[in-house]
Structure 1
Amino acid sequence: MKQEELAERLHSRSQAGVQQKLKRNLQQKFECVFEGIAETGNPKTLLNQIYTELYITEGGATEVNQDHEVRQIETASRKPHRPPTTITCEDIFKTPPDRDQPIRTVLTKGVAGIGKTVLTQKFSLDWAEDKANQDIHFIFPFTFRELNVLKQKKFSLVELVHQFFTETKEAGIWIFEDFQVTFILDGLDECRPPLDFNNTQILTDVTESTSVDVLLMNLIRGNLLPSAHLWITTRPAAANQIPAQWVDMVTEVRGFTDPQKEEYFSKRFTDEEQTNTIISHIKRSRSVHIMCHIPVFCWITATVLEDVLKTTDRRPLPKTLTEMYIHFLVVQAKVKNIKYDGGSDTDPPWSPETRKMIESLGKLAFEQLKKGNLIFYESDLTECGIDISSASVYSGVFTQVFIEERGLYQDKRFCFIHLSVQEFLAALHVHQTFTNTGVNLLSEEQTTSQRSGSAQTQFYQTAVDQALQSPNGHLDLFLRFLLGLSLPTNHSLLQGLLTQTGSSSETNQEISKYIKKKISENVSAERSINLFHCLNELKDQTLVEEIQNKLSSGHLDTDKLSPAQWSALVFILLSSDKDLDVFDLKKYSTSEEVLQKLLPVVKASNKAVLSGCNLSDRSCEGLSSVLRSQSSSLRHVDLSNNDLKDSGVKILSDGLKSPGCRLETLRSGLSGCLITEEGCSSLVSALKSNPSHLRLLDVSYNHPGDSGQELSALLEDPHWTLDTLRSGLS
């Protein structure tokens, strides 16, 4: 036998042996998951048993979405009429039919708790169990939390792989170019400090040592192992750390669709009657139903409702987010009481030690929320006055609230199980501090001269003002929790933890009045929607019910609606569980003023029928902003028989040429809109800038001149998707 052939066979055997060992280790690592956090002695749950396929969509950009993630969830929960291209976990690297080049790097975005990590674990487990992607020789899953610890050390790429996956080192594998390798880099948003692609050395040798961040950037750029696949996951706010040219495909985890929510609860509970009770209750509570897009929130909801349903006194099921999280905290306190303190299920849950733990965790939650941190290190805890030994005790006791993790070098990292839990505990801390000491932790940069009423009312007004001033809605959920905690009924649930009885009914009425005043002050749609959710937490439905009654009776007179009532109408239309398929302006009023007020509904609709509505170029600025928005669902517009003129078409063209524009048809779109050659020239320029979406354009009954010929030429160009142009009788 030739020496080369013998060497190749030995190499092949070595590869098969190490591959099987790696598969066994990954299977052992990922086959079991713990909803919430692993507790010693808890029964293990098989990932394959509880895994519910997530809603993953192709498309999107690496640009930052700085909105609070709850805002992003609410946007995602508005069902698009025609869903975007969906992808299954096992096909994440499969080349779509409309692409020629194979996919090397996939960037998957998703809000905290949406299921990105479980998705990568399922991908690895399916490979390890020989179920999928057997063309891959090795999968190497890393997390940025683990890699953060190595930032001060130097490795070559081969040494880094050997460090985490010792079976490759034991087999003596130093060359990976001959293998199909997949690297998973989970949690880019947790990378400290962030990757800086503008200032990094070029590295092409997999055996050359350097810092871990330089290794990662060269791996992502394709300078190291260009044949490898990379799967990177991140929260949306960190997506732009990686320049777009190094990403072949962007996907987004949208969480659970409505049928997937039901599937999750059906798998979670074996009792069919209990499952049906829980599902019907969630559907009745809009804010809870929206949050159940997040798998972690489904788990929190299941934990709470299971506990409430098994009690003998048949307490009412929690309807608001505040009630849900209060119950969740009570459940965790009861677990601690029974498991660690030797108590019984009927004992009060709030021992002095438990109260101290909650106070410390609340302070940490608030201080880190102000800084925008989800992951905390020992130094962060020390700054909040929590010593490290106490933190370990907290994470050992409140394992489903506060987590301690250890990396390769036994470093300690801490986080709350989900951002919303951190925001709830932060609100609880601010609320407790005020009720116990009178200190308003939110008032450092606030003046109170323009506020009236009691100190309590001023306290909540300060919170509303600060949330409205937050540019990205980062205090939206915090505000909902803080206002919900003001209700006496919620205080009774926390009896023993909170010493006060809650706000008076007069104070709650004053807060509601103040929120309604803010709603009427022409705030943005996102802020207005959050303020309505705040009213829901305060159990004040009067404004919404008023408009719902008008809608159901068919007596909605838009000429007589106040600004607050207009906001209520937008909130109702956006919160409806019906698909926002067609928005027809004539149902409300044929005026530009009404269109401006209802633009958020236009943005969430699949089609906008605006023909013959007395619109002029004044309406085009708002419509152009809708077209530019990445989160817009609008795909079809009919603007025929409005006096838009060339000036209006120019403004619309700015929206059409935006990279975020996904409009497919201007059906009868611009016919009879008094457009001349100048306006058509703007359209030509816009379509050349963004050629990939508009399929049908109607500019008939106008005067396009020579620009009409240019539009016709676009039909023949294979780079443009435009396949139908109507320009007759001009």
Structure 2
Amino acid sequence: MEFRHERVVSSEDIRAFQEQLSAYDDASLRFIYEYFRGDLSYVLETLDTVALLSELKSRNVIHSDSSMEIKKSWGAELFVSILLQDILEVGREAVIGLLVCLFVLQVDHPHPNLLAILGEIGQTGENLMPLILLDQFGHTLPSELNGSQEHHKTCLLEETQMLQEPRALGYKQEGPKFLISQRYLDLIVVSSKEFRNRSTHEVIETGGKHEYYLQKAQNRLERITANRLFRWCHRSGCVPCTVMVSGVPGVGKTTLMQKIVYDWVTGKHYKSFAFVFFFKFRELNICQDISLEEMIVGKYPYLHSHISYILQNPEKLLFIFDGLDESSRSLDFRVYHQCISTQQRRRWEIIVASLANQSLLKGCSVLMTSRPAKLASLEFTNFQRMSEIMGFFPKEREKYFEQVFENKSLSEKAFQYVRENDTLYTFCYIPTYCWIVCSVLSKCFVSAMAMNCQPKTITQLFVTYVANILQNHTLEKDNPKSTLQSLGRMAEHGIMNHVLTFHKDDWPLFSEDTCSGLLSSFLVESSQRPCSSSTSKSPAVTYSFLHLTVQEFFSAMVHFLDYSEDRMKASLSKAVEFDDGRCEIFLRFLCGLSDLSTRAILKPYVGEFSNTASKLVIAWLMFSAKKIIEKTEKDNDDKRKLMNLFNLLFETRNKPLVKECLKLNKKIDFSEHYLTPVDCTVLAFILQCSEETKCLDLDTCFIQSEGFKKLAPYLHIIEDLRLSKNDLKDDDAEALCRILSHPTCRVKRLILRENSFLDQSCTMLAQAIYKNSTLEELDLSKNNLMGKDFHVIIEALSNPTCTISKLWLQQVKMNDQYSPCLRSLGGNPNLELLDLGLNYLTDNSGGYIKELIERSKLRELRINTNDFSKQAEETLKSLERIRPGLQILL
């Protein structure tokens, strides 16, 4: 049966949905409820609680007067847990009632996870219980395959049950191993196709999206737990067979795949698959023409005798292909050059594409991972679920620190330090990056130099990271500088050409010393069993940097270790030509290394860096700044490039340079451009360095309280400050008060339209107005200021010492109750313009408005779109005769 998602859910739809649920017996209904319980928890935590409780009450599902108090006191998670348990204990009718309520609420609260639950229940119909039972208990296999399956699981268990951390800084021995069941932390997977629109660096882009989801888009964020990838997808309207999981380097794609295989082996999830086959594209790269059977048996030789039998039931099979971005060949997922037989020998990329487009083994399931940049240029019409790993959200980041640091107090200290450093904290959504941060801070916080080396920028973090490795490295025969130069040349070649994996054959091109013990500190070695079709009999060995950002750092550092003017100019020229953002962090590192104090951390280990390189970078940065600022003044759509420039300046920590670059830029305009908390940190540094800025336009940047607090200490220097539509609240009024009360405050124009200020903020704003002597224009329109404290700010605005000449109070929900206080505004000798439009004033306020006009020096009064009668409007208009030059707009 189909249910319509229209603006209004009809009574027929509700009745049909209720009848479907009522058809289940008690045991089945309870089974369904428990099956969806985790999904329901997440949905109810994000749903409007008042609307939910109101709907539950109206349908007599459950009555709980203490529910809101529980949520306020103990949080949404406990509230939802209690609610779901209470409904289960009430019984059958309550379970049906809850689901019906959610069916109704989907119209005004169309959370994608809610739509997925309702879709899976409604669209699968009579097949729902069989699907759940299959997911819970799996297939019954013929006796001859049971042994093969158990053998397969045993081998996969050995491969997947342990998680290994990278080796400790500067040591050759491998890092510690941990049971994946004890160490794995949830990675946030969301439904997404946004990689198609990316033009900035993957890591930066995703980091910004984290903050966006945290602050703004929770009600639109479809979270997909690791066990739901092959559950109902409401976007494609089916149970998907083909799933793509994208994610930036180091975010945990391979770890998630390892966890999925481990969960299948241990019987926790995905029991509907009888066999799971796990391949990495870097393994397939060495294969020649091959058949699917040969591909599987080449990796799992013990399946040889039963492989044909196993492949006879495609719907019981899951193929996992990890790392599409590491493929040496281009895959075309359209149905061209297809392979239709499991014994047909073709190029391996055709076999993989044929599995994905279902021309081979129709009905099998395919799970693939890739970097977003790789996907942007490919067609994916055959993938029924597109998702993206967002990495760690705040709770998981904190847990990771607790796991890495054995000492709890040290863990808390390190996490607090990172939490207060937005740049480091945002990048910690990447697990590998989180490990690097923890590794560096574990050295900093326990060493004597702790107070001097704690990193504040990305460049300082990686300089300290490399310094710690070199400090602990004990192989005296190595020449660190020579090795770092070779690694840098190889790294830059990879960055410029999208190369992430290297072979030993590549190393002579970069003068790499393959015997250097330092290599193991920065490179990850991978060895793959050769395919049965490969001409080589020895394992294929590839190398990649620990993380893409490590590669980017080395590609920048080499220009300071082995300076060549021609090479650096060529790299800078090439880097700015890419429109896919691949060189953004590379450029940040170049600018960060131009700072002498940052480079000095590495000096004891590699000697002098090139000061000439630093001068060239600074000259390039000044030239780029002039071009970007001039272009931004002409084209407001180039705000992303302006923020990128500010990030480069932020990495330099060079305040005179910032001042010089921005000396002619009197206005900074980011209006209509979403700014993350990290962007606000960077912008705060820019404002701190450049005191010549006259106008700062942050209208509709959604900076919220967190971003505003970072900017507030430097906003008193701005003459024209625009903060409309940023969701600022009463708690931010105190910071506004400090800005306006600052001894050297320059603010003349303050625009606070359409925020979330209530009357509670009026007291703080009034204090600021009393103390301020520069403010001439104030716009408080579209804030709900009416309440018991509104008169306080009117008194401040009416004071004879008030300097405000233009005041906007449009659409603040003012009615006749508050009109008596308006006449007191006549006490402000400077007030020339007053806007009271789009409020609820009626004829009863006419007398007070007349008194205001008589007592004031107003030249323009806007009272349009209130609730005046035609006669009252004529009377008010006639008041223009009281003072020549007065204009009243109705």
**Secondary structure at 1:154's aligned position in 2?**
coil
CA 512–572 in structure 1, closer or farther in 2 if over 3 Å, else same: farther
CA deviations over 1:545-581 (Å, ceiling 9, x no partner)? 99999x99xx99xxx9558x55999697798288999
Q: Does 1:525 align with 2:639?
A: yes
Q: Distance in 1 between matches of 2:146 and 2:317?
A: 14
Distance 1:125 1:119, change over 3 A: same
The structure-2 alpha-carbon separation of the partners of 1:467 and 1:100, relative to structure 1 and needing over 3 Å to count, comes to: closer
Residues 413, 313 of structure 1: alpha-carbon distance in 2 compared, 3 angstrom cutoff: closer
In the TM superposition, what is the alpha-carbon distance from 1:33 to its structure 2 partner? Answer: 2.0
Distance 1:142 1:96, change over 3 A: same
Aligned to 1:20: 150
Shift of 1:174: 3.9
Q: 1:195 to 1:382 in 2, by over 3 A?
A: farther
- Contact 1:55/1:86 (8 A) holds in 2: yes
1:82 to 217, 228, 238: 217
Whole-Å separation in 2 of the counterparts to 1:577 and 1:13: 66
**For residue 31 of structure 2, what is the aligned residue in structure 1?**
none
Asked if the contact 2:495/2:583 (under 8 Å) is kept, the reply is no
2:317–2:364 contact (8 Å) kept in structure 1 = yes
**Contact 1:156–1:215, Cα closer than 8 Å, also in 2:** yes
Corresponding residue SS for 1:230:
strand
| Counterpart AA for 1:358 | L
2:594 touches 2:618 (CA, 8 Å); kept in 1? no
Cα distance, 1:97 vs structure 2: 5.7
Q: CA deviation at 1:470?
A: 3.4
**For residues 520 and 309 of structure 1, what CA distance do their matches in structure 2 show?**
40
Q: CA deviation at 1:525?
A: 2.5
- Aligned residue number for residue 489 of structure 1: 597
TM-superposed CA distance for 1:270, in Å, is 2.7
Rg larger for: 2
Indicate which of 5, 23, 33 corresponds to 2:163.
33
Post-superposition Cα deviations, 1:391-428, rounded to whole Å, max 9, x if no partner, equal 3x34x643341122222131222211111111100111
1:137 to 274, 279, 289: 274
Deviation at 1:439, TM superposition (A): 3.0
**1:419–1:541 Cα change, 3 Å:** same
State the match for 1:720 in structure 2.
none
1:71 aligned residue (196, 204, 228): 204
TM-score (norm 2): 0.55
Tell me how large the CA RMSD over aligned residues is. 4.2
1:236-251 alignment to 2 at 5 Å? 236-240=372-376, 243-251=379-387
Aligned to 2:56: none
- Provide TM-score, normalisation by structure 1: 0.67
Deviation of the 1:312 alpha carbon: 2.9
- Aligned pairs for 1:646-665 (under 5 A) are none
Q: CA deviation at 1:522?
A: 3.9
> Does residue 475 of the first structure (1) align with residue 583 of the second (2)?
yes
1:406 corresponds to which of 518, 527, 532: 527
Alignment of 1:267-282 (within 5 A): 267-282=403-418
Structure 2 residues without counterparts, runs of 5 or longer:
1-138, 531-538, 633-637, 669-679, 711-722, 729-748, 755-778, 784-809, 812-837, 839-890
| CA drift at 1:314 | 2.9
**In structure 2, how many angstroms separate the alpha carbons of the residues matched to 1:227 and 1:299?**
40
Tell whether 2:508 aligns with 1:377: no
The change in CA–CA distance for 1:411 and 1:466 in structure 2 (over 3 A counts) is closer
Q: Which residue of 1 aligns with 2:556?
A: 427
- Aligned residues of 1:162 and 1:169 also touching (Cα < 8 A): yes
Task: Indicate the residue corresponding to 2:293 in structure 1.
Answer: 158
State yes or no: 1:205 paired with 2:341: yes
2: distance between equivalents of 1:384 and 1:280?
41
Indicate the residue corresponding to 2:487 in structure 1: 361
Shift of 1:192: 1.2
Distance across 2 between alignment mates of 1:567 and 1:528: 14
Q: Match of 1:181?
A: 317
Q: 1:272 to 1:312 in 2, by over 3 A?
A: same
1:11–1:115: structure 2 CA closer, same or farther, 3 Å change rule?
closer
Do 1:508 and 1:538's aligned partners in 2 also have CA atoms closer than 8 Å?
A: no
Query: 1:431 & 1:37 partners in 2: Cα distance?
Result: 27
Q: How does 1:347-358 map to 2 (within 5 A)?
A: 352-358=478-484
Does the aligned pair in 2 maintain the 1:108–1:232 contact within 8 Å?
Answer: yes
1:124 CA displacement = 0.5
In the TM superposition, 1:530-609 aligns within 5 A as: 530-540=644-654, 566=697, 576=707, 583=726, 588=751
d(CA) in 2 for partners of 1:90, 1:490: 45
Deviation at 1:376, TM superposition (A): 2.0
Partner letter of residue 274 of structure 1? L
Aligned-partner residue type, residue 594 of structure 2: S
1:117 is aligned, of 254, 266, 269, to 254
- Counterparts of 1:481 and 1:572 in 2: how far apart (Å)? 26
Structure-1 separation of matches of 2:699 and 2:506: 42
Further displaced range: 137-146 or 168-177? 168-177
Tell me by how many angstroms 1:253 deviates. Answer: 0.7
Give, in angstroms, the shift of residue 267 of structure 1.
1.9
Q: How far apart, in 1, do the equivalents of 2:615 and 2:370 lie?
A: 45
The one-character-per-residue Cα deviations of 1:650-692 (angstroms, maximum 9, x if unpaired) are xxxxxxxxxxxxxxxxxxxxx9xxxxxxxxxxxxxxxxxxxxx
Shift in Å, 1:297: 0.6
Deviation by residue 1:364-394 (Cα, 9 ceiling, x = unmatched): 11222222211223443343343xxx43x34
SS in structure 2 at match of 1:142: strand
How far is the alpha carbon of 1:123 from its aligned partner? 0.5
Q: Give the corresponding residue for 1:305.
A: 441
Contact 1:158–1:174 (8 Å) recurs in 2:
no
Q: Which has the higher helix share?
A: 2
Judge conservation of contact 1:64–1:238 (CA < 8 Å) in 2: no
Matched residues in 1 for 2:456 and 2:750: separation?
32
CA distance 1:433–1:577, shift in 2 (3 Å): farther
CA displacement, residues 141-195 of structure 1 (integer Å, 9 cap, x when unaligned): 1010001110xx2222122111111221154554423261110011111111211
Q: Percent of pairs identical after alignment? A: 23
Residue 229 of structure 1 and its aligned partner are, at CA, apart by: 1.0
Against the structure 1 CA distance between its residues 567 and 97, is the aligned structure 2 distance closer, same or farther, given a 3 Å change threshold? closer
Q: Give me the whole-angstrom Cα distance separating, in 1, the residues matched to 2:782 and 2:294.
A: 68
1:652 corresponding residue in structure 2 = none
Say whether the 8 Å CA contact 2:481–2:561 is kept in structure 1. Answer: no
**Could you say if the C-alpha distance between residues 90 and 50 of structure 1 is closer, same or farther in structure 2, counting changes exceeding 3 Å?**
same
Match of 1:105 in 2: 242
| Matches of 2:398 and 2:587, distance apart in 1 | 29
Conserved? CA contact 2:334–2:379, under 8 Å: no
Find the aligned partners of 1:131 and 1:45 in 2 and give their Cα distance: 19
Runs of 4+ in 1 over 6 A off after TM superposition: 504-512, 541-549, 567-575, 577-581, 584-587, 609-613
Q: Distance in 1 between matches of 2:238 and 2:570?
A: 55
- Partner Cα distance (2:617, 2:570) in 1: 23
Q: More deviation in 568-577 or 523-532?
A: 568-577
2:630 alignment partner AA: E
**How far apart are residue 354 of structure 1 and its match?**
2.3
Structure 2: distance between partners of 1:125 and 1:165? 16
- Please say if residues 485 and 491 of structure 1, whose CA atoms lie closer than 8 Å, have aligned partners that are also in contact: yes
Instruction: Provide closer, same or farther for how the CA distance between residues 289 and 62 of structure 1 changes in structure 2, counting only shifts above 3 A.
Output: closer
- Structure 2 counterpart of 1:115, one-letter code: G
What letter is aligned with 1:247?
F
Letter in 2 for 1:154: D
- Evaluate the alpha carbon distance shift between residue 376 and residue 172 of structure 1 in structure 2; reply closer, same or farther with a 3 A threshold: closer
User: Partner of 2:604: helix, strand, or coil?
Assistant: coil
* Secondary structure class of the residue paired with 1:155: coil
| One-letter code aligned to 1:489 | S
- One-letter amino acid of the structure 2 residue matched with residue 158 of structure 1: E
